[in-house]
Chain A
Amino acid sequence: MKRKRRFTISLSALSILSIAAAAATAATVCIAIFSSVYSRSLMSDAAVSSEQNIQQTVLAMDNYIYGIKNQLTQIIASMEGYEDPASFSEDIAIIPHTQSDIYAITIYDAQGGIITCAGSSAALKEEIRSNLSFDARLFEAAEDFAFLSPHVQNMFEGEYPWVVTLASEIKTPAFGNARYIAVDFRFSEIARYIDNVGIGRHGYCYITDQEGNIVYHPQQQVIFSGLKQEDSRAINALSDGVHMEKDIIYTLGSTYDELWRIIGVSYTDELEIERRSQIIISVIISFFFCALIAFIVMLLYSKIVNAPVLSLIKAMKQFEKHTGDFHYKGGGETVKELQALSGSFAHMAVTIQNLVETVHQEETALRKTELKALQAQINPHFLYNTLDSIQWMCEQGKNEEATRMVGALARLFRISISKGRELITIKEELNHAENYLIIQSYRYRNQFSYRFDLEPGLENYLCNKITIQPLIENAIYHGLDRMVEQGEIVISVRQAPDDEKDILITVSDNGVGMTPEQCEKILKKERSDTSGIGVKNVNDRLKIYFGEKYGLFIKSELDVGTSVTVRIPKVEKEAAYAL
């Protein structure tokens, strides 16, 4: 069977490759989808959360501003019914101690002179340098409330709290020259609130006025000492809402009364890059993990499935080549189907071997039986001719010759029968051959002569009976019969020169000889014309008995002669080759 050389791939390699390819494709697609969807949703998430934060902060500031205005309104309302600022001040002195967000309540004259001040338990300074809670110009211009941005309150000894001041004109005539009432509200709560607004992963918010001046910034100590830039005026030009710049999101909101603007600043780059790279890293890790698992699975798979399949295939090839001496042991497979397959193969191999052996034995036995039957047959022509010759001798009164002839025929048959044994001694076989030659030499009227050449010591070894006679018969009929002058047949028995254990028996004549084609034919063709044993049968028989090494070897040359050599082993006891 001829096999085409084709590209082949093992099952496990194929599986590994396909799984790896699938995983790689999935990972790439995942990364692509994730990064586009994620970056978009991240940006909008950041914008939404930033906007929510700022709206919430604006709401808190609105509440704060509304609250402090409300408180001032209540205090002003409570002034009704007082005759002078002093008694009013005494009554409200408790307020800064009970309401923690109010630091001080001060009543000023038109120039900022303090008429009364209810506030901290610390002493009021005798001399106040630049009172930061009073601004004559602003107070004068205000319609109902004047608002002073966060500043340090410096009216009391040893205290410098941050406050916002809300002031209003006093309309109660009973208060004389008292012109303004101002309430300082502590700012630290608001500052803390603003400080704690964290936007996104990295962000903050701050307060400006409508002109973009920073009212409060969580990092104001950094900004005002020049360590950080915050371009609040430029940002202030933006309208309220979310503004996305390259990697910064600005979110602006204004308080209800448009007093303050809340500006949120958050950085998107880090957030996006970090999260995206996190996803990509985890996808890559899981990809490698999948690949690793696929690799391990395939490794196990090939160990469990492929290796047994391969060994089975190898065993089958082995069986194909050497059916006779083949041994297969299955087992070791983990997969059930393979186990069954391998078991069946082992069983089949043994069965086939047994069958072959049986067929071989039966065939040999058949052949041997056949040959035996042939040996038992007497060539009727030969018998007829011989008896005819004997009759002729008797008629001629050649009694002596007739007697010899009958004796030879009798011995020939006796040896042919040989008590049914297959192997006889070389001596007996030669005797058989001689009797045959005696009979034939009468028939052919001394057309040929013959002689025996026996190496001493070999005569007692065994050989198949009727081995030499067919060869002599062949030599007479095909070699000498057609010769004009007298021929010669030489039968020699020799120790084989190349093997000590073998014997060579040669029958040679100086007849017409044969072509190589004839030589070949003679070993192959069944004898059809007459019954009895042909040269081919002799050859077959030898091979069946002793093996392929043994048999006939023909050497022939036209007009020179033919020699047929029989190679047999040295056999001493018939038992060894008994059928």
Chain B
Amino acid sequence: MLCKKITALLICLALSAGLCSCASTGDRLYIAVIVKSVNSDFFGSLKKGVETAATEYNVDITFEGPENEEDYITQNTLIETAVQNGADAILLSAINYEKSAAAVNEAAKNGVKIIAIDSTVNSPAISLFIGTDNKEAGRTAARAATAGFSEMTEIHIGLLNYFESTENGMQREEGFLEYVNSLSNARIAASVNVNSNIESATAGAVKMLRENPEINVLVGFNEWMSLGVGYAIEQLGLSERVKGVGFDANPISVGMLETGEMDALLVQNPFAIGYLGVQKAAELIDSKLTENDPIYTSVTEVTVENLFDADIQKIIFSFS
């Protein structure tokens, strides 16, 4: 009888609706964090931030990234996997500004909230950006690089940057150039892009210094570039003559600050990026967060003078 079938159907619907509502409210949130690599101190510290917030906000997290920082294909696969595993949100530090857009759009279509951390993707599906104001960081780096020279001295700057398609590197260089161009006595002597690892960075920096002996300021735009800068200056014995400026801190680059190969490090706050990322993701899923203005975390300029200040210590040295 039709009437009975409809009744049965209604009962089933009501039951399943009840069960679903019970199940969904009882679930913990799952946030997938996908970064450029899991080896660097930068992402290690970011992971600490993610874990701290996960403990505080009671969410489940996974922390994954490809083996090398050029492998955007693996990143896209990780995004797809996270969506399949039922992630409520993804924190993504994208390797490629353009080529991860499709994967991000697809994930957003499946109802996953996406927050860009550290470096973003060219996609309208990004709910929020949390990270360094890279352009501003570039300007700060330029200020640090050109500080301490008299106006009469010609400043010849060598730039060591990584993968051209990574958004944050481009932004930093843009900000850097903007500031340098406003100075009359500074110019860019050479600029190279190398793979984001210590070997390529060191080799690139050495080559640049050899080919452009007039360089007196060498700038690296991320953790590995900074090490390349430091190692090249050390290898060529130029610590007196060439000023080394880099991004981020790890025990080696801090050591180089102490021994003089590096003169300034612009230390981002990866812990804060990771912490705020999870916090905002949790709020976003609960619909408590409505604004989507980018949240910029601090960049601290660290020199040998302020390295061991109590507050600076707490920011730059992570607990590993």
Contacts and interface: CB of A to CB of B under 8 A. Distances in A.
Contact of B52 (A195, A203, A292, A293): A195
Given A160-B251, A204-B55, A222 B308 contact: no
B313 A221 contact: no
A187 B254 CA distance: 20
A152 B56 contact: no
Nearest to A297: B7
Interface in A285-305: 285-286, 288-289, 292-293, 296, 299-300, 303
B56 A202 contact: yes
Interface in A169-218: 187-188, 191-192, 195-198, 201-204, 218
B14 interface: yes
B300 A225 contact: yes
A66 interface: no
Contacts of A278: 25
Contacts of B269: 221-222, 225, 227
B58 interface: yes
A269 B277 CA distance: 22
A154 B56 CA distance: 31
B253 to A, nearest CB: 10
A451 B23 CA distance: 110
Contact of B49 (A222, A281, A289, A303): A222
A158 interface: yes
Nearest to B25: A278
B21 A222 contact: no
Contact of A224 (B17, B58, B315): B315
A160 B253 CA distance: 11
B129 interface: no
A132 interface: yes
B231 to A, nearest CB: 13
A159 interface: yes
Contact of A281 (B25, B57, B318): B25
Nearest to A162: B319
Contact of A195 (B55, B57, B255, B298): B55
Contacts of B102: none
Chain B binding surface SS class: helix
A401 interface: no
A296 B58 contact: no
Interface residues of B, number: 46
Interface string A264-294: 0000000000000010011001101100110
A225 B315 contact: yes
Contacts of A222: 49, 269, 271-272, 275-276
Chain A binding surface SS class: mixed
B317 A152 contact: yes
A196 B48 CA distance: 11
B252 interface: yes
B308 A225 contact: no
B271 A221 contact: yes
Contact of A226 (B55, B57, B298): B298
A121 to B, nearest CB: 14
A358 interface: no
A342 to B, nearest CB: 21
A300 B313 CA distance: 75
A367 interface: no
Contacts, number: 112
A300 B11 CA distance: 14
Contact of A203 (B22, B45, B56): B56
Residue of A151, A159, A227, A281 with most chain B CB atoms under a 10 A cut-off? A227
A221 B311 contact: no
B319 A191 contact: yes
A192 B315 CA distance: 17
B56 A204 contact: yes
B200 to A, nearest CB: 21
A562 B317 CA distance: 139
Nearest to B267: A225
Nearest to A132: B308
Nearest to A200: B58
A158 B254 CA distance: 8
Interface residues of A, number: 46
A188 B51 CA distance: 15
Contacts of B11: 292-293, 296
A453 interface: no
Nearest to B52: A218
A218 B57 contact: no
A160 B52 contact: no
Given A162-B317, A218-B55, A218-B56, A130 B308 contact: yes
B51 A195 contact: yes
B315 A159 contact: no
Nearest to B310: A151
Given A152-B313, A188-B319, A221 B45 contact: yes
Interface in B1-29: 3, 7, 10-11, 14-15, 17-18, 21-22, 25
B215 to A, nearest CB: 26
Contacts of B318: 221
Contacts of B308: 129-130, 132, 152, 154
A296 B10 CA distance: 9
A369 interface: no
A187 B319 contact: yes
A357 interface: no
Contacts of A162: 317, 319
B188 interface: no
Contacts of B49: 219, 221-222
A266 to B, nearest CB: 9
A474 interface: no
A289 B18 contact: yes
Contacts of A220: 314-315
A307 to B, nearest CB: 12
Contacts of A286: 18
A157 interface: yes
Contacts of B51: 195
A30 B130 CA distance: 44
B297 interface: yes
B320 interface: yes
B73 to A, nearest CB: 32
A198 B58 contact: yes
Nearest to A214: B314
Interface string A126-158: 000110100000000000000000011010011
24 contacts: A132-B313, A154-B308, A160-B317, A187-B319, A196-B55, A218-B52, A218-B55, A219-B52, A219-B53, A219-B56, A220-B315, A221-B49, A221-B314, A221-B315, A224-B314, A225-B272, A225-B315, A226-B298, A227-B298, A281-B21, A281-B25, A289-B18, A299-B7, A300-B7
Interface of A: 125, 129-130, 132, 151-152, 154, 157-160, 162, 187-188, 191-192, 195-198, 201-204, 218-222, 224-227, 278, 281-282, 285-286, 288-289, 292-293, 296, 299-300, 303
Given A204-B52, A293-B11, 18 more contacts: A129-B307, A129-B308, A132-B313, A151-B313, A152-B313, A154-B308, A162-B319, A188-B320, A195-B51, A203-B56, A218-B55, A224-B311, A225-B269, A225-B272, A227-B269, A227-B298, A285-B17, A285-B18
